Amino acid sequence: MDIKLVDSEIKVMDVLWKEGDTMAKHVADVMNERYGWNVNTTYTLLKRCIKKGAVERIEPNFVCRALIPQELVQEQETEELLHKVFDGSVDKLFASLLGRKNLSAEQVRKLRQMVEELGGGES
């Protein structure tokens, strides 16, 4: 499935991923609280997500259901970032992440654990 969402659409989808099936009015309230968006802005974005096949509209009450998993969008966005900014190189991406001075010891430990798991436990 290849559905390309823009950043504002992903913000709307985030509410559905976190809360499950949700009335459009509630999504609009959350977007207003988080970003100061008006109801029309949120409804327009929901309708775009519906048109793209990312959201299903259920009646009555304009209930919205995410049709694509968050993990799929995260994977697509990561691939795009990897190719756009890091020439498709995972090594460059990790070097950028690991080169940051503000990683906590816990974050470094988790990254190390992920790398070890991907490598089959090899050091």
Instruction: Encode pLDDT of 12-23 as tens digits.
Output: 999 999 999 999
β-pair partners for 16: none
Q: How far apart are CA 95 and CA 50, in angstroms?
A: 38
CATH classification code of 7-70: 1.10.10.10
Element (H, E) at 114: helix 105-118
pLDDT of 98: 76
Query: Would you list the domain boundaries of the chain?
Result: 7-70, 89-123
Using CA atoms, how far residue 90 sits from 37, 43, 94, in Å, is 36, 37, 6
Q: Which distant-in-sequence residues (6+ apart) come within 8 Å of 94 by Cβ?
A: 111
pLDDT of 123: 46
Residue 26 confidence (pLDDT) above 70: yes
pLDDT of 108: 80
pLDDT digits (tens, 9 = 90+) for 35-92: 999 999 999 999 999 999 999 999 999 999 999 999 999 999 989 988 999 998 888 8
Most confident of 21-30, 69-78, 112-121: 21-30
Q: How far apart are CA 96 and CA 13, in angstroms?
A: 28
More confident residue, 87 or 24: 24
DSSP codes, 15-41: HHHHH-SEEHHHHHHHHHHHH---HHH
Q: How far apart are CA 109 and CA 7, in angstroms?
A: 30
pLDDT of 103: 78
Residue 10 confidence (pLDDT) above 80: yes
